[in-house]
Amino acid sequence: MRTGVNWWDAEKILWYERAAAECSFHRSLSEYILKHLEAGRPVHEAGCGLGHAAEILFHKGIDITASDRDPAAIAQASWRSSLDIFSLRDAYDLPYFPQLLLIFFGCIGKNDNLQRFMKNTERIICILSEHSGQGVKTGRKGSEETERFLDENGIKYTKETFEIPFPQPLLSLSEAERFIERNYGRDYIDRLLPFAEKTDGQYPLMLRNNKKCTLFDIRKEES
């Protein structure tokens, strides 16, 4: 997950790790990724965030390294996984890798992203999320923009769409409000709070979310 420098703080890390531990989101996501990776060829995940997908893929035998430009994210990924596959670096300053993985990185059709990445790879697997899993549109249309960009520029690709549950466990309504405000914006509190359901488990509330994703498999054309 690509974010700005210092986007991750202790509170956001706690929320994300809590959610990751309570569901199979990253395991399911990794299965979709595995279908597109070429076995035996190194892959690098840029903007890896807390590194859950990279950790799972490593344990499935994939030759993977991962990086992010946020020091807190890399520190957490390295600590949690105890793996020496994570490094602190910017996604635009990478050496050559045969396969490049971008998870929730953003629209690769903007800011010359695709051209810059394709200089140092043969294949990009890019997964985008619309952040509309509760049925509430947030105005983010990365997959539509990306598909239009690829079509207009005659770039060959395949795509796959899917939904994976990624609910957020929460301790109280006040925590739910704070979570929504910090991750979606204050304007979304009233719209998303109704999706926080009471549970009988360890966490009294669960903010339901089926994450809508599109995976683009983009290959460099042979010259």
pLDDT score recorded for residue 36: 95
- Flag whether 1 is in a domain: no
103 with 86, same domain: the answer is yes
User: Which residue, 209, 218, 158, is CA-closest to 22?
Assistant: 209
- Flag whether 21 is in a domain: yes
Average pLDDT over residues 202-215: 93
Average pLDDT over residues 146-161: 91
156 with 182, same domain: the answer is no
The whole-angstrom separation of Cα 123 and Cα 98 is 6
The whole-angstrom separation of Cα 132 and Cα 211 is 7
76 with 135, same domain: the answer is yes
- Flag whether 2 is in a domain: no
**What percent of the chain clears pLDDT 70, i.e. is strictly above it?**
91
185 with 163, same domain: the answer is no
User: Which residue, 16, 38, 36, 65, is CA-closest to 166?
Assistant: 16
Question: Is residue 132's pLDDT more than 80?
Answer: no
Range in 17-26, 105-114, 194-203 with the lowest mean pLDDT: 105-114
161 with 66, same domain: the answer is yes
113 with 174, same domain: the answer is no
- Flag whether 142 is in a domain: yes
The tens digit of pLDDT for each residue in 84-103 reads 999 999 998 999 999 999 99
157 with 182, same domain: the answer is no
When divided into structural domains, the chain yields a total of 2
Q: Which of the four pLDDT bands, split at 50, 70 and 90, describes residue 142? A: confident
64-68 and 86-88 as β-strands: parallel, antiparallel, unpaired?
Answer: parallel
- Flag whether 5 is in a domain: no
156 with 97, same domain: the answer is yes
Phi, psi dihedrals of residue 56, rounded to the nearest 5°: -65, -45
94 with 127, same domain: the answer is yes
- Flag whether 78 is in a domain: yes
Question: Is residue 34's pLDDT more than 50?
Answer: yes
176 with 102, same domain: the answer is no
55 with 156, same domain: the answer is yes
The tens digit of pLDDT for each residue in 37-52 reads 998 999 999 999 999 9
Q: Which of the four pLDDT bands, split at 50, 70 and 90, describes residue 1? A: very low
Find residue 43's DSSP bridge partners. 64, 99
- Flag whether 4 is in a domain: no
- Flag whether 109 is in a domain: yes
Average pLDDT over residues 148-159: 91
Question: Is residue 83's pLDDT more than 60?
Answer: yes
122 with 188, same domain: the answer is no
**Which domain, by its residues, includes 177?**
168-207
